[in-house]
Structure 1
Amino acid sequence: MTGTGVIPEHTRAAVVRAFGEPITIEEVAVPPSVEAGGLLVEVVACSLCGTDVHCWEGSLALDIRLPLILGHEMVGRIVAIGEGAGHDSVGQRLRVGDRVIWTHAFCGRCRMCTAKRPAMCLNRKAYGHVSLQDWPYLMGGFAQHAYVLPGAGRVRVPDSVPDALASMASCALRSVVNAVEQAGRVGPEHTVVVQGAGPLGILATGLFARAGAGRVVTIGAPAARLELAGAFGADEVISLEDTPDPAERLARVHEATDGRGADLVAEFSGHPAAFAEGIDLAAQGGRYVVVGQLGAGTTAIAPGTITKKNLSVIGSFSGDVSHYHKALTVLDRYARHLPFDRLISGRYPLEDVNTVITRMQAFQEIKPVLLP
C-alpha cells in the first residue's frame, strides 16, 4: 500500500439478512490490507435512494444474494490507498484523509466496457447489491467503512461540497446529469416536462432550467415536493393529487404549449403508467428520456404513437465516472442558484436505519442521510 491510516479489524454495518425484515447492526470484518488499485474509506455519509428500499423489500428485478450491506450512494474519507491508486479518475492526487465518491466496479474488458459504456458493464459489481459473504465484504454504504474496488472509478470531493450533497452526487445527481446530457440540447424555444417530483425529478427540473429551457413543467406529488420543484426552477407544476386524470394533465400541458405538447419529456417517476402518459405528453418530433423505469412493472401503450409522432425515445441508466465528476461540479457551481440543501430531509445515525427505511416507504423523506 502507498498510504495508510489505522485499519480496524472490524466495523459496524447495517446488514439485511431477510427481505422485508428488520435490518440488524453487526460487526463485520475489515480486509487487513488494500489491493493494488483499491481504497479503504471511512463512510462519512450515505444518502438513501428508492432503490435501497426496493432492494430491502426484495422487489428489485435483480438476483440479490443475502446477507448484504445496503447503500450505493455514499461519500467516504480515505483510510488506506492501494498501490497505484494515488490519483483519482480525473487525474487529481489522492491522499489519506481526502473525501471521494466512487462508481460501481467495472471489468474493463467486456463488450460494453470496450464500447466505452462502463455503466452497462456485463460483469459489473454493484455496491449495495453484493453479498456480505463475498470478499471484500464492505460493499455497501450502510456501514462505517467501505472498500473501493480497483475497477471502480473514483473522484475526489471538493472542499466546497458538504458531505450530504457529495453523497447525493454519487447516484441521484449523477443519474440526472447523465440523463440531461443524453436528452440533448434544450433552449428557450423548448418546453420540458419532468415526470416525478422525487429527488431525481427535482434535480432534473433545476438542471433543465439552468440549461436554458424556455419552460419547465414538473408533474408529481405531494405539494411540498412541488413547492421545492418551483424553487429549483419549475415554471409550472401539476399535482397528481389535484389532477388525478391523465387526460386533464395532458390538457394542462397542451394549454401551456399552444396545443403542441412537450418538446422534451423526462421520466423520473418510476411508475410504469407514467411511460404511456409521457408518450402522449410529447409533441410531434419530440424527445422522451426514460430514467425511472427500473422495476419489472408493465403498462399498455399504443406503439404507433411513437411512430406517428416521430418520437426519439431514450433510455438513460446510471452514469459513468465522468457524470460523478460533473455532478460534483454542478454542486459547486450552482450552489448559489439551486437550493440543493433543501433536498436533504434528515440526518440519522446508523442505528436508526429501520426508522429511515419506514419513513422512505411512507414518502415522509425526500433524501435522508445516514451518518455511520
Structure 2
Amino acid sequence: MSTGHSTAGQIATLVGPATAELQEYDVPAPGAGAVVLKIRRANVCGTDVHQWHYESAALRDSGLGHEFVGEILALGDGVTTDFAGQPVSVGDRVVPVYFLTCHRCPPCLRGEFNLCQNGLAEWKIKPEVSPHFRSGFATHYYLFPGQYFYKVPDEVDDETVAGANCGLAQMLFVIDQVGIEPGETLVIQGAGGLGLYAAAVAHERGARVIAIDGVPERLALAEEFGASETISLADYPESADRVARVQELTGGLGADMVLEVTGVPASFVEAIDIARTGGRIASVGNLNAEAEVTMIPGILTRKSVHVHGVLRYHPPYLHKAIAFLARRQHAHPFHAFADRSYPLVEVTAALKAGESRSVARVAIVP
C-alpha cells in the first residue's frame, strides 16, 4: 500500500440505539509501528449486542465489532514480528488484542493490564476520524503501535481462530484468575461462545462441567465441548428448580465454581445459590451498569462465597488462546461456533441473529 488513498473500505458504525450504518473511508497507510489488516472473519459477541443497544456509555457513535481474524495488508516501519517474536509479513493471518494497554495508568502500573484506563481510547473515537478502522465489523482494521497481535499458525483455520481474541483468551484468563482444580465442578450459566470456550478449557484441566442454557443446539454443543451434564431452561424454568438440580448433581454440595456468562442480571443471584459453601463465582457476562437485582447480602457472608468480577484479559493470554486452539482444535468442534454467516452489508441482521441466542456465535464475512 504505497499511498493512504489507494483503497476504500467500509466500517459498521453505531449512529444511535440499535442503529448501525456502513460508512466508507479511504484505507490509510500504516504509520511507524502500526499495521493495517484486511479483516477475514468477525464474530458477533454478546458484548457487541450490548453496545448496539447503547448499553456501553464509552462506545456510542463508534465502530462495532472486536472479535475477529485479519490478514496483514501493510506493515509500518519497524514492524517485523508479532508480540511473541514470530516474523510477520504481508499476507500472514493475525489476531489482535482488541483493547490497548498504555502501561502508564494506575491499573497498568499495578500489572492489571486488563483494566487499563486507556484500553478503549482509540475504539471510542468516531470512525470519521482518521485512521477510521478501529473495530472489527469492517473490511479493514488499523493496529496501533504497541497494540498486541499474534500470528495464526497455518493449521488453525479462520472459523476456529476468529473467537480467540475475545472469548477464548478471556475464559483462559478467568479460569486462571479464579481457579479450577481437577475433579472440581464448574457450573456454566450460558452456553454461548464464552460458555463453550470455558467448557473446553475446564475439561482439559480435568474439571467436571455442567452447562445451563435454554437453547437445545447450544446444550448439544456444550456436551461436545466437555460438559458432562446440561440443564435446560425448558425443563427447569424456575431458578429454584435449577439450583435444586445442581444440588442433586453434586450430592447436595453445590458447585465449586460458577461462571456467569449470560448477561442476564438475575443470573448473578442464581449463581450465589448454585455455589457451594466457600465456592467461587466469576461474573463476566453482566456489563450493563444500570440493571438492578434484588438479593440478600447475608447469604454471601454465610456461604463465604468469593465473587470475582473479571473484565477482559492480560494481552499474552491471546497467545495462550492460539496455542490452545492449535493443541485442542480436533478435540472440540470450534469451527461450529459460528454456523451462520452474514456479509458486512447485513450487519444489522447479524446483530439480530446474535441477539436471538439461537447459535453460539454469528459471523460476519466482509
Map of 2:12 onto structure 1? 14
Once the two structures are superposed, residues 191-215 of structure 1 have per-residue CA deviations (whole angstroms, 9 ceiling, x without a partner) of 11111111111221121111101x2
TM alignment of 1:102-181, pairs within 5 A: 102-103=96-97, 104-125=99-120, 129-181=124-176
CA contact (8 A) 2:68 2:162 kept: yes
Q: 2:43 aligns with which of 40, 47, 61?
A: 47
CA contact (8 A) 2:15 2:60 kept: no
Q: 1:126 to 1:164 in 2, by over 3 A?
A: farther
TM alignment of 1:274-293, pairs within 5 A: 274-293=267-286
Map of 2:21 onto structure 1? 24
Matches of 1:59 and 1:123, distance apart in 2? 19
Report whether the alignment pairs 1:363 with 2:360.
Answer: no
Matches of 1:289 and 1:362, distance apart in 2? 24
Which AA in structure 1 matches 2:251? D
Which AA in structure 2 matches 1:53? V
Identity level (%): 36
How far apart are 1:122 and its partner, in Å? 1.0
Find the residue that maps to 1:63 and give its secondary structure: helix
More displaced stretch, 362-371 vs 233-242: 362-371
Which AA in structure 2 matches 1:88? D
How many matched pairs?
A: 363
Matches of 1:163 and 1:290, distance apart in 2? 29
Report whether the alignment pairs 1:301 with 2:298.
Answer: no
How far apart are 1:9 and its partner, in Å? 3.7
How far apart are 1:134 and its partner, in Å? 2.9
Find the residue that maps to 2:70 and give its secondary structure: strand
CA contact (8 A) 1:70 1:129 kept: no
Report whether the alignment pairs 1:247 with 2:244.
Answer: no
Matches of 1:270 and 1:158, distance apart in 2? 32
CA contact (8 A) 2:192 2:357 kept: no
Matches of 2:361 and 2:100, distance apart in 1? 24
The answer for unaligned runs of 5 or more in structure 1 is none
Matches of 1:292 and 1:114, distance apart in 2? 26
How far apart are 1:128 and its partner, in Å? 5.4
Q: When the two structures are superposed, what TM-score results if normalisation uses the length of structure 2?
A: 0.94
More displaced stretch, 345-354 vs 225-234: 345-354
Which AA in structure 2 matches 1:141? G
Matches of 1:128 and 1:200, distance apart in 2? 22
Q: 1:24 to 1:94 in 2, by over 3 A?
A: same
Matches of 1:219 and 1:135, distance apart in 2? 44
TM alignment of 1:204-283, pairs within 5 A: 204-213=198-207, 215-283=208-276
Map of 1:187 onto structure 2? 182
Matches of 2:105 and 2:164, distance apart in 1? 27
Which AA in structure 1 matches 2:301? T
How far apart are 1:260 and its partner, in Å? 0.9
How far apart are 1:6 and its partner, in Å? 7.7
The answer for unaligned runs of 5 or more in structure 2 is none
Which AA in structure 2 matches 1:15? T
Matches of 2:125 and 2:205, distance apart in 1? 37
Matches of 2:81 and 2:96, distance apart in 1? 13
Matches of 1:57 and 1:97, distance apart in 2? 35
Q: When the two structures are superposed, what TM-score results if normalisation uses the length of structure 1?
A: 0.92
TM alignment of 1:82-101, pairs within 5 A: 82-101=76-95
Which AA in structure 1 matches 2:187? V
How far apart are 1:29 and its partner, in Å? 2.3
Q: 1:249 to 1:65 in 2, by over 3 A?
A: closer
How far apart are 1:371 and its partner, in Å? 1.3
CA contact (8 A) 1:289 1:314 kept: yes
